[in-house]
Amino acid sequence: MFDLDLRSRKPIYEQLVDKLKELIVNEVLKPDEQLPSVRTLAQELTINPNTIQKAYRELEIQGFIYSLKGKGSFVNPIAKGMDKEKISQVKQELEKLILEALYLGVTVEELQAMIVETDAKKGAD
Amino acid sequence: MFDLDLRSRKPIYEQLVDKLKELIVNEVLKPDEQLPSVRTLAQELTINPNTIQKAYRELEIQGFIYSLKGKGSFVNPIAKGMDKEKISQVKQELEKLILEALYLGVTVEELQAMIVETDAKKGAD
DNA sequence: TCAACTGTATTAAGAGTAATAGTACACCTA
DNA sequence: TAGGTGTACTATTACTCTTAATACAGTTGA
């Protein structure tokens, strides 16, 4: 479900944060839905509970989830509209990458075609 | 000239490698042109010569430059066509990012507009 | 010839961070 | 009350980047 890359330069907890954000924003995880517990998820992914907790804490700070001691962690219902900063961040990265591609000789048409194709692929979920 | 980000997750030497590749592929650095010496560039950028050397070694391994003991490091003339793997790598990253943007609700039209704008910006060098 | 420049190699130390391990505490619920 | 939850803390391991300090080998030009 999470396909983490343990060898990535991006830390595991950060990969988790991003994945969970995506699931929340796209409402795969519904508002107020309970997330797997720190220990459960750690066992499933065979990583340390502390790493999960670090991700959950980050998500709570950013307002995507809320945690109740003794109960669990849940999707913040307000999180749906929370992706604006993420969008601008992605756009920024995207612009850098587009620029790089253009410098490498990739044409505008080719890039635009990529978008259409990717969009089609997205629908095929 | 190199605008390095010392606080980036990407190591300095790797940033250097990428920058230099770009300069070489786009022939800002001409074939057989001599690169600044390890020590000179280190002084200019106020970083350690070893860091420069690491970048140069990597570039040599990848075939973008060649180094002659006692003489210097030079742009490999064959490096022009060397960017194919880089292109496919960039395309792959691009696709991931596009997909992410689409999931975040960015429209196809918006993305295509970005490309055109970025292309215009590129011309304004 | 030789000083001063090149690249190259090596070792050591410092620093930062991710991840794990282990433990402990507070809270909730059946 | 037992067993689940989140939370907090310390210590340790591991890895990597970066710097530092040398040292050596080759080239070049005065």
pLDDT in tens, B90-99: 998 899 899 9
Alpha carbon B2 to chain centroid distance? 10
CB-strand contact A26/C, under 7 Å = no
User: In this structure, are residues B92 and B37 in contact, taking their beta carbons and an 8 Å threshold?
Assistant: no
Instruction: Give the pLDDT score at B12.
Output: 96
Q: Is B106 on the interface with A (CB under 8 A)?
A: yes
User: In this structure, are residues A76 and A64 in contact, taking their beta carbons and an 8 Å threshold?
Assistant: yes
Q: Is B122 on the interface with A (CB under 8 A)?
A: yes
The CATH fold assigned to A12-81 is Arc Repressor Mutant, subunit A (1.10.10)
Instruction: Give the pLDDT score at B104.
Output: 83
pLDDT in tens, B79-125: 876 777 788 889 988 998 999 899 888 999 999 999 999 998 875 54
Examine the pLDDT at B28 and tell me if it is beyond 70.
Answer: yes
pLDDT in tens, A58-69: 999 989 999 999
Chain B residues with CB under 8 Å of A99 CB are 118, 121-122
Instruction: Give the pLDDT score at B71.
Output: 97
Instruction: Give the pLDDT score at B110.
Output: 95
Q: SS3 of A41, please?
A: helix
pLDDT band for A123, please (50, 70, 90 cuts): low
Amino acid at site A69? K
Examine the pLDDT at A76 and tell me if it is beyond 50.
Answer: yes
Which residue has the least CA–C1' distance to nucleotide C27? Answer: A70
pLDDT in tens, B30-72: 999 999 999 999 999 999 999 999 999 999 999 999 999 999 9
ipTM of the shown complex: 0.78
> Could you say which residues from 29 to 88 on chain A have a Cβ atom under 8 Å away from some Cβ of chain B?
83, 86-87
Examine the pLDDT at B22 and tell me if it is beyond 50.
Answer: yes
Sequence ranges of the domains in chain B: 12-81, 83-123
Show which positions of strand C are touched by protein (CB under 7 A).
5-11, 17-22, 26-29
More confident call, B37 vs A103: B37
Closest-CA residue of B relative to A25 is B104
Q: Is B120 on the interface with A (CB under 8 A)?
A: no
